[in-house]
Chains A and B, each alone.
Chain A
Amino acid sequence: MNSLRRLGQFVIDSVEGLGRATLFFLEVLSGSRKLIRRFELVVQQVFSVGVLTLLIILVAGLFVGMVLGLQGYNTLIKFGAADSLGLLVALSLVRELGPVVTALLFAGRAGSALTAEIGLMKATEQLAGMEMMAVNPIERVIAPRLVAGIIAMPLLAALFSAIGVLGGQLIGVGLLGVDSGVFWSQMQSGVSFHEDILNGVIKSMVFGVVVSWIAVFQGYESVPTSEGVSRATNRTVVYSSLAVLALDFIMTALMFK
């Protein structure tokens, strides 16, 4: 009986949390209208969530591409299809690994930083202080960060895929001796702009919204103590990773038939 009650409580709490998160999201969206006149606030945040995440994204993209080159070559050569290596690398990156791995890294690097920053601003009464100065923290602090995350994430995913393709080429062409012309022409003829690239971009935009949303919401809702902020940061990484993977499955099922 008790466990049934706990289950019920858990469901109620979860639904309530989702409702709060949705209302919060709408409030932030309506607050972000005013950012058009103060776009420099967004630019600052694009720098801190986007540019400062660049290094980890580029390094990870390069290695993922190199691994794809190695593994792909070893498998394809068994079927005498090593010529398709370029296509395999590009499709894997553009459709799946680019958006997904970027989103996971983005959650770990930028999402956790966003949550911790907002949570600490709350804990040190900076948000309350703004309210008392008649400045709405949703408009001034939260909205620029959410918008910046939404802008930065697809750009990072594109860079990840681009450098991943270069990594695959480095290994496939440079090391394993696949013909350079074949590598690129197979890719060019096999990757469709609408089917593959556009769908990948849509994925990365969705992930950008979800990860940034979870990050700012967790920060804003965090219990304003050191323990509360650390838990919120933790939740950001866990929830956004799970959300990214689950949404990726759903979107893949809908997009690629």
Chain B
Amino acid sequence: MSDTQTEPGAGEALVEIRNVHFARGNRTILNDLSLTIGRGKVTAIMGGSGCGKTTLLNLIGGRLRPVSGRVLVDGLSVPDLNTRDLFELRKRMGMLFQSGALLTDLDVFENVAFPIREHKHLPEPILRNVVLMKLEAVGLRGARDLMPSELSGGMARRVALARTISLEPMMVMYDEPFTGLDPISKGVIAKLIRELNTGLGITSILVSHDVADACAISDYAYLIGNGRIIGQGTPREMQQSAVEEVRQFMEGLPDGPVPYRYPAPDYLDDLLQGDNA
């Protein structure tokens, strides 16, 4: 969390997004968006609900293709990869879903073991040790026999995190990791994200609308609005930003560049029309 760093690319870039345009039907979701994720950094991507943050993660993970623009991960152009290369790349990146996305028919141990069983042929005793190490890293070694339905929201997300790091990825994408958690669980997740980043050198992309939690653990932050970057900088720079759109978001002001009211005809006219009807 150095204050001196002003350029996200200070250090090497792991993910580069250049002039990406993405649309669903007629609705433009990302418009000429460019950003850089530094290797070994925790980068927060913030923005209001529905502003395209999760879409951005899906573009990086290759689950969606941009209409135009480039998405580079570790030097590879993600939209141009064939299925096999894309899957090879995905083994090196993890994604933590908002819901955890644990497989409901497997217990905690088997969930964490799942990617390892699918991709590596480890002897059972070694596999057991690897899984227990991952579970220990998130403090849930004792919960190995529970089923996902028996876990609290925070625990489920920690198990999912253990599973995400089970293939020892170079990068983890967190989709709204704090949403719907109590303060203690939030703190635990924040601590884990930071620990994994410093301890294992995992590059982290943190998508969140939770300003305080995201700023507390990130090295650099981007703010997305209307499909483009409206602000970027270190968390401190963001909090002191003079740009009105950034200030509205960071301080949670109800009215500002993002209007409080949904566009509507004149209030008085609207009410009078009821009399005429």
Closest 8 CB pairs of A and B: A129-B101, A134-B90, A125-B101, A134-B87, A132-B95, A133-B115, A134-B91, A125-B97
Against B, the Cβ 8 Å flags (1 = close, 0 = not) of A128-161 are 1101111110001000000000000000000000
The answer to whether B95 and A129 have CB atoms under 8 Å apart is: yes
Task: Please indicate the chain A residues that have their CB under 8 angstroms from the CB of B101 in the complex.
Answer: 124-126, 128-129
Cα A124 to Cα B104 with chains together (Å): 9
Residues of A bordering B, CB below 8 Å: 121, 124-126, 128-129, 131-136, 140
Nearest A residue (CB) for B89: A134
Let me know if B52 is at the binding interface, CB within 8 A: no
A185 to B136, CA, bound (A): 70
Known: A125-B97, A126-B103. 11 other contacts (CB 8 A): A125-B99, A128-B97, A129-B95, A129-B160, A132-B90, A132-B93, A132-B95, A133-B90, A133-B115, A135-B114, A140-B118
A-B contact count (CB 8 A): 53
CA A135 to CA B61, docked complex, whole Å: 13
Which chain A residues lie closer than 8 Å to B167 at the CB level?
Answer: 133
Task: List chain B residues, Cβ under 8 A from A140.
Answer: 118
Query: Can you list, as one digit per residue, whether each of B48-76 has a CB less than 8 Å from chain A (1) or not (0)?
Result: 00000000000001010000000000000
A132's partner among B83, B94, B98 (CB-CB below 8 A) is B94
For A124, the chain B residues whose CB sits under 8 A away are 99, 101, 104
Chain B: minimal CB distance from A103 (Å): 26
Q: Given A125-B97, A126-B101, A126-B103, are A135 and B118 also a contact pair (CB < 8 Å)?
A: yes
Which residues of B lie under 8 Å from residue A132 when comparing CB positions? Answer: 61, 63, 90, 93-95, 97
Chain B interface, DSSP helix/strand/loop, else mixed: mixed
Chain B hits for A125, CB < 8 A: 97-99, 101
Can you report 8 A-B residue pairs in the complex whose CB atoms are below 8 A from each other? A124-B101, A125-B98, A125-B101, A126-B101, A131-B90, A133-B114, A134-B90, A136-B87
- Asked if B88 lies at the interface with its beta carbon under 8 angstroms from chain A, I say yes
In this complex, how many residues of chain B approach chain A with their Cβ under 8 Å: the count is 24
Residue of A121, A126, A140 ringed by the most chain B CB atoms within 10 A: A126
B119 at the interface (CB under 8 A from A): yes
Nearest-CB distance from B77 to chain A (Å)? 18
Residue of B nearest to A136 (CB): B87
Question: A46 → chain B, closest Cβ, in Å?
Answer: 16
Contact A129–B90 (Cβ < 8 Å): no
Please name all residues of chain B whose beta carbon is closer than 8 Å to the beta carbon of A131 when the two chains form the complex.
61, 63, 90
B104 — which chain A residues lie within 8 A by C-beta?
121, 124, 126
Minimum CB–CB distance for B32 against chain A, Å: 26
Cβ-defined partner of A135 (8 Å) among B93, B94, B115: B115
User: Which residues 103-151 of B have a CB within 8 angstroms of A?
Assistant: 103-104, 114-115, 118-119
- With most chain B CB atoms within 10 A of its CB, the pick from A121, A133, A135, A136 is A133
> Is B91's CB under 8 angstroms from A129's CB?
no
Specify which chain A residues have a CB less than 8 angstroms from the CB of B83 in the assembled complex: 136
Q: Is the CB of A134 within 8 A of B88?
A: yes
Residues of A within 8 A of B91 (CB): 133-134
CA distance A121 to B104 in the complex (A): 8
Provide the residues of chain B in CB contact with A126, threshold 8 Å: 101-104
Query: A140–B115 Cα gap in the complex (Å)?
Result: 12
Query: For residue A121, which residues in chain B have a CB less than 8 angstroms away from its CB?
Result: 104
Q: How far is the CA of A204 from the CA of B93 in the complex (A)?
A: 45
Bound Cα distance from A135 to B87, whole angstroms: 8
Q: How far is the CB of A148 from chain B (nearest CB, A)?
A: 15
With A124-B104, A134-B90 already in contact, the answer to whether A129 and B118 are too (CB < 8 A) is: no
Q: Is the CB of A128 within 8 A of B90?
A: no
Closest to A127 in B: B101
| Chain B residue contacts of A129, Cβ below 8 A | 95, 97, 101-103, 160
